[in-house]
Structure 1
Amino acid sequence: MRVHPTAYIHPDATVHPSCKIGPNAVIDGPVRIGANCQLGPSVVIMGHTEIAADCSIHSHAVIGDKPQDKKYNGELSFCRIGERCVIRESVTIHRASIELATTKIGNGCYLMTNSHVAHDCHLEDEVTLVSGALLGGHVHVGSNAVISGNVGVHQHVRIGQLAMIGGVSMISQDVPPFTMTDHQGEIIGLNAVGLALKGISPAEQQELKALFKVICRSGMPQRRSLELAAELANTELGRQFVDFFQAETRRGFCRFRRRNSRLQQSILTPLKQQSTCK
């Protein structure tokens, strides 16, 4: 293990011998760090934090500190970082605020400079937070989602997999999977580029497009649109899309950018005909 002489490692910490610890880094408490991790200058890792193998943590990042929650009263809680994560300069990730709960970062996540993950958040695999992105407490982010620069996400919001959040926006309600938002936080359509880059088949993309039109563009009452969408969903991704709307939500859903009534009618008519044929 290559440890700079100015670094501090707590006696209760477990650090794999293949790790590299930079100058003035602090590992304070029963921290566990896996193989081949690299900690840059002045990194601080605290508490019951576990970092899996092959992570790169850059200078001045702080992981596992106490949650910024006035209700927190010293309860035992955890922070876990998955494999192959890149955590850039001055990122902050806080441990959970609820006793025995965990703030979780999945495998292969990329957290850019000055981004923040608050207590009790859960980021699934391959999530990207661009510089300045701020997640409030209890936020859940699906795999391969991208939160653009200087975005603020309200507590308890869900962001679905492969969602793309437009920069400098405020997200106060749930964002469905496979969709993208504009700078006002309104849903503007499917994340077509992200779907293509992830190798989603044309047939699956077409089904998602049809389901998006039913739920988000048809103008039908939500209950009826979800019933129709559930009938039309044949692929796993399609079912995941519908399930996201049917799951419990504490915040509701972001607004969909409005379309004129003539376009809504042109969308709805063939869908009604398709439903009648069934």
Structure 2
Amino acid sequence: MIHQLSVVDKRAKIGKNVIIEAFTSVAADVEIGEGTWIGSNVTIYEGARIGNNCKIFPGTVISAVPQDLKFDGEVTQVIIGNGTTLRECVTVNRGTKALGFTKIGENCLIMATSHIAHDCLIGDNVIIANGCGIAGHVEIGDYSIMGGLSAIQQFGKIGKHAMISGGSLIRKDIPPYVKVGRVPITYAGINSVGLRRRGYSNEKIFEIQKIYRAIFQMGLNVSQAVSYIEKEMLPTAERDEILTFIQNSPRGIVKGYGTSKE
């Protein structure tokens, strides 16, 4: 199942039913899980840990050293979860001593030419469309969708179930369950379509909408909105997740429509 024109180090750990196409290079300290397909002209460097039933398309480079001048040759990894697909010419850099690894979760789709930098944490079922740039130390929550040609600066955070418009420049954190778009990027409602597809009830969606009305549409600043939500709305998993995200966002969250400035 390994093409004779590929170069696979004998020390690499290759699972059952793995296919490695021609002109692909796999280094020694690499693990590839069962049923994974590796296309032609893929380069997999030291430290890659690729799960079961993944698909890696031609031109992809996994676990190259990070583009970080502080990197000093430390032993780090890239971890890719089961069922994840990396399309053509995706690049995923391994971690630095800051975290030790870059991680992409299970069942993700990373579309062509996107870049995921060192020490990023990408959740499960995430979709990153073509040509996105994700800087170092970024966190992206489960089921989030990042539109094509978007870019997020280092240490940015995107909450679960967020929907980001294509071509966005993300300089502030994006809380869970919301849609963002426009220039400059602003809150554009909650991701109700995505939430319904994932089984959220109308009552739960209305609850999330009510929380974000307090944050973005009642004329309160963020601290006032948080206090209002804590006092006036009953604790739920979604309410507490939103509040925790906001309280752990040192750079602050995106603004509401009409309040953001260049």
TM bucket by the smaller chain?
Answer: over 0.9
Equivalence for 1:236: 237
Question: Is 1:207 matched up with 2:207?
Answer: yes
Equivalence for 2:166: 167
User: Displacement, 1:100?
Assistant: 6.3
CA distance in 2, matches of 1:49, 1:167: 29
Residues 221-259 of structure 1, C-alpha deviations (whole Å, 9 max, x = no match): 322210121231432122211221112x24222221127
CA distance in 2, matches of 1:233, 1:23: 58
User: Displacement, 1:158?
Assistant: 0.2
Deviates more, 1:165-174 or 1:223-232: 223-232
CA contact (8 A) 2:246 2:252 kept: no
CA distance in 2, matches of 1:99, 1:158: 17
Equivalence for 1:78: 77
SS at match of 2:226: helix
Equivalence for 1:132: 131
**5+ residue gaps, structure 2:** none
CA distance in 2, matches of 1:133, 1:88: 12
CA distance in 1, matches of 2:91, 2:115: 5
Deviates more, 1:69-78 or 1:121-130: 69-78
Residues 255-276 of structure 1, C-alpha deviations (whole Å, 9 max, x = no match): 21127xxxxxxxxxxxxxxxxx
Equivalence for 1:224: 224
Equivalence for 1:266: none
Alignment of 1:151-190 (within 5 A): 151-184=150-183, 185-190=185-190
User: Displacement, 1:160?
Assistant: 0.5
**5+ residue gaps, structure 1:** 260-278
CA distance in 2, matches of 1:39, 1:112: 15
Aligned CA distance change for structure 1 residues 233 and 142 (closer, same or farther; 3 Å): farther
CA contact (8 A) 1:204 1:238 kept: no
User: Displacement, 1:99?
Assistant: 5.9
Query: Counterpart amino acid of 1:242?
Result: L
CA distance in 1, matches of 2:139, 2:99: 18
Structure (1/2) with the larger helix percentage: 1
Query: Counterpart amino acid of 2:214?
Result: V
Query: Counterpart amino acid of 2:206?
Result: Q
User: Displacement, 1:147?
Assistant: 0.4
Question: Is 1:38 matched up with 2:37?
Answer: yes
CA distance in 2, matches of 1:83, 1:250: 32
CA contact (8 A) 2:216 2:255 kept: no
Q: TM-score, normalised by structure 2?
A: 0.95
SS at match of 2:41: coil
Equivalence for 1:263: none
- Aligned-pair identity in percent equals 29
CA distance in 2, matches of 1:183, 1:210: 22
Runs of 4+ deviating beyond 6 Å: none
CA distance in 1, matches of 2:94, 2:182: 30
Q: Which protein is bigger by CA-based radius of gyration?
A: 1
User: Displacement, 1:17?
Assistant: 2.9
Aligned CA distance change for structure 1 residues 215 and 22 (closer, same or farther; 3 Å): same
How many residues get paired?
A: 257
CA distance in 2, matches of 1:70, 1:183: 33
- The RMSD of aligned alpha carbons is 1.3
